[in-house]
Amino acid sequence: MSQYVSRLGSTRTGPRIRFPGGFPGASRKPRRIAMLSVHTSPLHQPGTGDAGGMNVYIVELAKRLAAINIEVEIFTRATTGSLPPEVELAPGVLVRHVDAGPYEGLAKEDLPAQLCAFTHGVMQAWAGQRPGY
């Protein structure tokens, strides 16, 4: 960090905002987090196809959050019709497959065209849950 500070100057960008009583919600820890992995599934083996560093990062972050009792749901695009709707990756980590676009033959450059369908699938999963989800 110090090498960047010496090149760029101060890391401070302006006056700090102070909240009376602390930052809103700071005392509450989230109970559940949703992650979106549109590019590739975190279930894919790194080094195969387009799976790589992002997969490793998402999986490890999800596992560490689960280790501190935060439930994690990772939404990813289904790549075959035979996938189950959800798979437990690790205790407290659930991968949900979302139907969005063709299962196979979709280049990663074509993924942005499927974002509306992906978002729709995520929202459908959310809408089917109990209040407070």
The CATH number corresponding to 29-127 among 3.40.50.2000, 3.40.50.720, 1.10.287.3510, 3.60.21.10 equals 3.40.50.2000
pTM (global) more than 0.85: no
pLDDT (tens digit per residue) in 7-65: 444 444 445 555 455 555 555 666 889 998 887 777 766 555 665 667 788 888 999 99
Q: Where are the domains of the chain?
A: 29-127
Q: Report which of 89, 44, 46 is spatially closest to residue 65, judged by C-alpha positions.
A: 89
pLDDT (tens digit per residue) in 74-120: 998 887 778 888 899 899 999 999 888 777 777 777 777 778 888 88
Which pair of structure tokens corresponds to residue 113? 């065209």
- Taking the alpha carbons at both ends of the chain, their separation in whole angstroms is 38
Q: Please answer whether residues 50 and 60 qualify as being in contact, where contact means their C-beta atoms are separated by less than 8 angstroms.
A: no
